[in-house]
Chains A and B, each alone.
Chain A
Amino acid sequence: MSDASFESKPIENEAQFGDFFALLKPRVMTLVVFTAFVGLLAAPTPIHPFVGFCAILFIAIGGGASGALNMWYDSDIDAVMKRTKGRPIPSGRVTRQEAFAFGLTLSVFACVFLGLATNWLAGGLLAFTIFFYVVIYTMWLKRLTPQNIVIGGAAGAFPPMIGWAAATGEISMASTLMFCLTFMWTPPHFWALCLFMRSDYDDAGVPMLTVTHGRPATRRHILGYTVMLATLAIALGFTQVGGWVYLSVALVLNALFLKGAYDIYRRDEAMSEADNFAVERKFFKLSLLYLFAHFGAILIEAGLDKFGASL
């Protein structure tokens, strides 16, 4: 960095270590870490604990790097929206070039070291995830189609599959269904939020289903995706990661989730406004528990299996 760059920046806008950490979207990273951890532990092949720790770390760094590249490309949108205008780039603490260099370096680092520490399928899957999130989602389809949530959800769904590949060196039916679980869960989760939270994506020119196709269509989409999600979630119970614990959790939660989606489908705007979107809010809260409980149940099954106490 040249002297000119820091002399030209106001002192209060000097980037601190935390600003670079914020570029990695740490909150999103927690979901990445949790699901990758479940994928790694549920895999039938044991992995050395330190190698497993490094694999999760590199997956988290790769996920964070894609977040930094997303902030680099979307800095124009972030500057317009209330929720994101305090991020390091729109607030002027980090330049776009710095974020790009940071994200790209960490992406290469994470993929190469995941490949070296575990295997090249895992490293390649991480590279594909970053490419998918940054190029396919952020640069291409996010601003083009109201199905952007579905596409973005796919990128967030890869970590358990990468964790599984890190341990086993392969892709299996179980790891594919774990991918499908997060992939199909994202749209109903996010669209329910869109129904009761006014998003400023409109101001930023990002097409949202609630605006492009209307709110009744969004309600139909929520129900459609929830039906597909429930089918896949139950199917996961019959793979090698499933068992009675998982199936019990899945049956209860999917019944509740389907009921919630059906209730949302049956309601119109007048009904929702009358109770301040109570059903939509409840469905959104349930969606958070839904994903956590499904992956938690897989983790319990893996624990039972490791200690020879499989039911």
Chain B
Amino acid sequence: MSLTKQHELHARRKGRNVGLGLTLAAFVAIIMGLTVVKVTSPEFRMPAAEGANGN
């Protein structure tokens, strides 16, 4: 049980907040998926590290 009484505003905006939360979660999943696909593709080359040639 929460210590403070929930404001009416929270109930009113629940659908919107849940929707936004799910959208953000989907966004994270998409970026994660894209990253995995990109780094595991045969064309992917790790950029040369700075200073690797002795500089």
Q: Which of B9, B13, B18, B34 contacts A51 (CB 8 A)?
A: B34
Supposing A17-B15, A17-B16 touch, asked if A6 and B37 sit within 8 A by C-beta, the answer is no
Q: How large is the interface on A (under 10, 10 to 19, 20 to 34, 35 or more residues)?
A: 10 to 19
User: CB within 8 Å of B: which of A1-34?
Assistant: 6, 11, 14-18, 20
Question: Does the CB pair A50–B15 fall under 8 Å?
Answer: no
Question: Does the CB pair B12–A50 fall under 8 Å?
Answer: no
**Chain A contact surface mostly:** helix
Chain B nearest CB from A123 CB (Å) reads 14
Chain B nearest CB from A35 CB (Å) reads 22
A-B contact pairs, 18 of them (CB 8 A): A6-B9, A11-B12, A14-B12, A14-B13, A16-B16, A17-B15, A17-B18, A17-B19, A18-B15, A20-B19, A48-B37, A48-B41, A50-B37, A51-B34, A51-B37, A54-B33, A57-B30, A116-B34
Q: Which residues of B contact A (CB under 8 A)?
A: 9, 12-13, 15-16, 18-20, 30, 33-34, 37, 41
Interface pairs A-B: 3 shortest CB-CB: A17-B19, A17-B16, A50-B37
Residue A117 interfacial (CB < 8 Å): yes
1/0 per residue, CB under 8 A from B, across A247-267: the answer is: 000000000000000000000
Chain B nearest CB from A26 CB (Å) reads 14
Q: Which of A15, A54, A57, A117 contacts B16 (CB 8 A)?
A: A15
Question: Does the CB pair B33–A50 fall under 8 Å?
Answer: yes
Known pairs A48-B41, A50-B37 / 18 extra A-B pairs, C-beta < 8 Å: A6-B9, A11-B12, A14-B12, A15-B16, A16-B15, A17-B15, A17-B16, A17-B19, A18-B15, A20-B16, A20-B19, A50-B34, A51-B34, A51-B37, A54-B30, A54-B33, A116-B34, A117-B34
Give the complex CA separation of A56 and B30 in angstroms. Answer: 13
Give the complex CA separation of A6 and B18 in angstroms. Answer: 18
Count of A-B residue pairs with CB < 8 Å: 29
User: CB within 8 Å of B: which of A48-84?
Assistant: 48, 50-51, 54, 57
Give the complex CA separation of A17 and B12 in angstroms. Answer: 11
For A48, list chain B residues within 8 Å (CB): 37, 41
Give the complex CA separation of A18 and B30 in angstroms. Answer: 22
Give the complex CA separation of A116 and B12 in angstroms. Answer: 37
Chain B nearest CB from A83 CB (Å) reads 26
Question: Does the CB pair A54–B12 fall under 8 Å?
Answer: no
Chain B nearest CB from A193 CB (Å) reads 33
Give the complex CA separation of A14 and B16 in angstroms. Answer: 10
For A50, list chain B residues within 8 Å (CB): 33-34, 37
For B19, list chain A residues within 8 Å (CB): 16-17, 20
Give the complex CA separation of A51 and B41 in angstroms. Answer: 11
Give the complex CA separation of A260 and B33 in angstroms. Answer: 48
Give the complex CA separation of A273 and B24 in angstroms. Answer: 53
